[in-house]
Amino acid sequence: MNIFDSSLNEHIRKKYPKTEVVADVQGKAVIKNADYFLNNREIIAELKCFETEKYLDIHNMLQDLSNKREIPPF
């Protein structure tokens, strides 16, 4: 668990009593669990974060194509 997830969990525990952090209630069970129960377990929520900037990947891909003269210089 990264810092963002653990800080968000802490925030939710303190301020949103109708929301449960699943890890808090699953005991020692080893399951690939989701992250939260909302509204008395009416909704199960899983959080997915995108943290990696793709700009460089795309730029490198275009640069490579440009070096091979498949696209014009940019």
Which spans of this chain sit near another protein (rule: CB under 8 A)? 4, 7-8, 11-12, 15-16, 18-19, 22, 26, 29, 31-34, 37-39, 41-55, 57-58, 61-62, 65, 70-72, 74
The residue (of 1 and 74) whose beta carbon lies closer to another protein is 74
The residue (of 1 and 72) whose beta carbon lies closer to another protein is 72
* Residue given tokens 């963002």 in the structure block: 4
Q: Write the Ramachandran bin of 40: left for phi over 0, alpha for psi from -120 to 50, otherwise beta.
A: left
Find out whether 48 and 62 touch, Cβ atoms under 8 Å.
no
